[in-house]
């Protein structure tokens, strides 16, 4: 079970985080940007659980952090989608380049 070192799990989560970052930089559609943010949040959760399991197995603090992150991510996704649908209603588009009224 412990033959996979902790660093390899951290490599997976790092790669996942930067894939999410790449998506956030290149996408211009609000829904796909939200998907990239979900990927980044998930990579953080993997880190919390892995550190908890490998370094501090006598405590459960990492698990609680990931539980609360999952809860807050669900609330965030719901609010973001409400905003996206409202934006679509007023602009007929959810492209970030089309919402420029407040641009300085």
Partner 1 sequence: MNTSTIIFYAIAALILGAAILAVTTLKIFRSAIWLLFSLVGIAALYFWMQVEFIAAIQIVVYVGGIVVLIIFSIFLTQQSGKEMAKPATSKMIFSALAALFGTGFTFNLINHYGFNNISAAPFNPSVDEIGMQMLSTTSHGFILPFEVVSMLLLAAMVGCIVIAMKPTEATIVHLNKKED
User: End-to-end alpha-carbon separation of the chain, Å?
Assistant: 55
Give the C-alpha separation, 53 to 61, whole Å: 10
Among 18, 90, 96, 104, contact with partner 1 (rule: CB under 8 A): 18
53/99 with CB nearer partner 1 = 53
Q: By CB under 8 A, is residue 36 in contact with partner 1?
A: yes
Residue 92 DSSP class? S
Q: By CB under 8 A, is residue 98 in contact with partner 1?
A: no
Q: Say if CB 39 and CB 19 are below 8 A apart.
A: yes
4/104 with CB nearer partner 1 = 4
User: Which residues between 56 and 85 bind partner 1 (CB under 8 A)?
Assistant: 56-61, 63-64, 66-68, 70-79, 81-85
Number of residues that bind partner 1 (CB under 8 A): 72
Residue 29 DSSP class? B
Task: Give all strands (DSSP E) within the chain, no chain letters.
Answer: none
């Amino acid at each position: 079970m412990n033959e996979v070192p902790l660093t390899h799990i951290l490599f997976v989560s790092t790669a996942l985080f930067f894939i999410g970052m790449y998506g956030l930089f290149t996408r211009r559609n609000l829904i796909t940007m939200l998907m990239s943010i979900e990927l980044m949040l998930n990579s953080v959760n993997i880190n919390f659980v892995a550190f908890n399991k490998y370094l501090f197995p006598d405590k459960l603090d990492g698990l609680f952090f990931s539980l609360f992150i999952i809860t807050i991510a669900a609330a965030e996704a719901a609010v973001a989608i409400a905003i996206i649908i409202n934006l679509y209603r007023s602009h007929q588009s959810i492209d970030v380049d089309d919402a420029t009224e407040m641009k300085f």
